[in-house]
Structure 1
Amino acid sequence: MDTLHLLFNAVTVIFIATTMFGAGLGATLSALRAIFADLPLLLLALLANLLIIPLLGWGIAALFSLPAASFIALLLVASSPGGPFGAKLGMVQNGDVVAGAAMQVLLAAIGSITFGPTANVLLTAAKAGAGVSLDVAALVLTVAVLQLVPFAVGLMLRHFTPPTAQTWHPAAIKVSNVTFLIVLAGMLLGNWRHIVALVGSLSLLAGFVFAIAAFALGTVLASGSRVRRTTMGGVASVRNAGPALAAVGIAFGNQPAILGALAAVLLSGLAAALPIAALLSRRRVGAPPE
């Protein structure tokens, strides 16, 4: 079991790194500068992901009267922006991949700092637990190594050696796609008992509704073309599991019930976001650019 766990972690690392590397290979410095110079887009994305969506998670958890473990899991997930699956959803929907990857990395970096205070405030206000204290430096380092560095390397290759970047880009995307499927399968197989146990508790439905609502909010609270706005919706809909998992270990002693609920919320969120991205992709095939 330990060997399988290590293998799954290795594949997850490869998925994250190649996804961000592939996004960097497909980006340009001028396009990236244009995104970060778009103050309305940045401010709206920060407002949506750092404030409104965490409050949305609290509201949905209360609306569905979730049991304690699922309530905590949903609040932790909602408080943690910048999940690497967000960049992948930009690719799946044939969206603005450069904007999606750049915003996802930015949110992951900022979220590694804001996650602890945000989760603490929500858990305390909801009387669902408190005392979330995380190693911010370790979280920032993880984001830098797994997401920022591969993206920057791909971006530099695209800038200085365009032919090499164009040659490597298809291979990076293929590796990203294959490892993405393996990670999804591993999450399902590794947590199916916990997921089945939560079927009657509305936890899966709450995670599903949360992801759809976050997708909608991320789309509405964005500027630019429809393609860019829906890409921001995909980034908003899937959250960063790393800080949430760290919080379960530090603040809740790796309680199996909370870990299982966390996996259920994350998977049900992906189950909601992926079909939306796939539908958007189908509508965009052959359509004139916006």
Structure 2
Amino acid sequence: MAQAAALLVSATLFAIMFALGLSLAGDRLNLVRERPALFARVLLGTCVLVPLLALLLLKLPLSAALTPSARFAIALMAVCPSAPLALRKAGKATGSRQLASQLQVSAAVLAILSIPLLADVFTQTYGISGWDIGPKEVALQIGKAQLLPLACGMLLRRWWPGWAQRWEGLFDKLANGLLLLLIVAVLVKTGHQLVPFLSRSALALGFMAVMVVASLAIGHLLAGNDPEERTTTALVTSMRNPGLALLLASTYASGMAGLKLAILSYLLLTVLLSVPYLRWRKTLSLRGAS
């Protein structure tokens, strides 16, 4: 059962990133060179400011009442940027899928260095031992789950553009179907545990909600005045990488009760709290168009 779940997660992430690569036109992939200041600001926000915000929140006296699993979940999600879900949300909302993809890939590459450094900061701050996260472990996970399938899709788009355009829709539907299947599987497997966990974790949910809203605000404020860019950068900054967080949790804290449920709770809150933000951005976009 565990192997089947891991296979489903891997297949879903591969399909999402591969479908994205097929959809990316080559003439739109030079945004890093065109907008270096924007990329620098957003990467600073998602890879540095969001983790530092979590560190400050977890130093508040009120945080002493949090369970260890809640504290670890907030810290892990904060230090793990670059979530594939941000790309799909940007494409479906008023954001730019092209910009989101380049920001996400840039954050993934930067995370190879930022995650080990931030893990050291958190472990030294809280006196935790046994969390010797190295760049190699992070690079392998990010490369296999995100960069490799994205590169495969982009290369096919470049070498066989006609084939890519013809099959792009099918692979996008396949990715959507696998994502829906994964969500249903997670709810079936953890639903009986997740609901009781949420009902008795009001304080932890409050801290997570503050993190999500603040992350949205950081991304929104670090963007330029372009509405599309603001929506995109807010999503990229707030959407953390639950797959990497769960991998680190399984590797370094497999015996901690409730940690994976707390990570899933953070993900659920991120998705829910992004809805009103996206509706607000869509309303502003419609007003501007009228």
282 and 21 in structure 1: CA distance in 2 versus 1, 3 angstrom threshold = farther
Q: What pairs with 1:1-290 in structure 2 (closer than 5 Å)?
A: 2=1, 5-62=2-59, 65=63, 66-125=66-125, 127=126, 129-192=128-191, 193-201=193-201, 202-223=203-224, 225-277=226-278, 280=281, 288=289
Q: Distance in 2 between the 1:21 and 1:225 partners?
A: 28
| Residues 49-73 of structure 1: per-residue CA shift (max 9 Å, x gap) | 1211012223344555222221121
Distance 1:36 1:155 in 2: 18
CA offset at residue 217 of structure 1?
0.9
- State how far apart, in whole Å, the 1-side matches of 2:33 and 2:118 are: 24
> Shift in Å at residue 77 of structure 1?
0.8
Contact persistence 2:94–2:231 (CA under 8 A)? no
- Are the equivalent residues in 1 in contact too, given 2:90–2:97 (CA < 8 A)? yes
Structure 1, residues 74-97: CA drift from partner, whole Å, max 9, x if none? 011101111221212212314210
After superposition, the Cα gap between the structure-2 partners of 1:147 and 1:251, relative to the gap in structure 1 and judged at 3 Å, is: closer
Give, in angstroms, the shift of residue 44 of structure 1. 0.5
For structure 1, list consecutive stretches of 5 or more residues without a partner in the other structure.
none
Cα deviation, residue 47, structure 1? 0.9
Kindly tell me: are residues 256 and 67 of structure 1, through their superposed partners in 2, closer, same or farther at Cα, counting changes over 3 Å? closer
- Cα deviation for residue 8 of structure 1 reads 3.1
Q: What is the letter of the counterpart of residue 17 of structure 2?
A: M
- For 2:20, give the aligned amino acid: A
**TM-superposed deviation, 1:123:** 3.9
Q: Number of aligned pairs?
A: 285
- What residue identity is the alignment partner of 2:184? A
Instruction: Please list the CA deviations of residues 24-52 of structure 1 after superposition, one character each: whole Å capped at 9, or x if unmatched.
Output: 22222231112344211111012101211
TM-score, length-scaled by structure 1: 0.86
Asked if the contact 2:46/2:238 (under 8 Å) is kept, the reply is: no
Matching residue's letter, 1:262: I
Secondary structure, counterpart of 1:223 in structure 2: coil
Q: Deviations over 1:210-229 (max 9, x none)?
A: 22221221121123621122
After TM superposition, give the deviation of residue 279 of structure 1 in Å.
5.7
Determine helix, strand or coil for the equivalent of 1:256.
coil
**Contact 1:90 1:234 (8 Å CA) reproduced:** yes
What's the secondary structure of 2:147's corresponding residue?
helix
Any idea what the Cα deviations from partners look like across 1:157-198, whole Å, max 9, x if unmatched?
333332222212211221222222222233333333145224
**What is the RMSD of the two structures over their aligned residues, measured on CA atoms?**
2.7
8 Å contact from structure 1 (residues 112, 136) kept in 2: yes
Worse overlay, 275-284 or 112-121: 275-284
Separation in structure 1 between the aligned mates of residue 127 and residue 182 of structure 2, nearest angstrom = 30
Residues 14 and 246 of structure 1: CA distance in aligned 2, closer, same or farther (over 3 Å) = closer
On the 8 A contact 1:69/1:258 being kept in 2, the answer is yes
**Kept in 1: contact 2:43–2:103 (CA 8 A):** no
**TM-score (normalizing by structure 2):** 0.86
| Distance in structure 1 (CA, Å) of the matches to 2:164 and 2:288 | 26
Q: Any stretches of 5+ residues in structure 2 without a counterpart?
A: none
The AA in structure 2 aligned to 1:24 is G
Q: Distance in 2 between matches of 1:214 and 1:59?
A: 14
Aligned-residue offset at 1:235: 1.1
Report the more deviating stretch, 259-268 or 96-105: 259-268
Shift of 1:283: 6.3
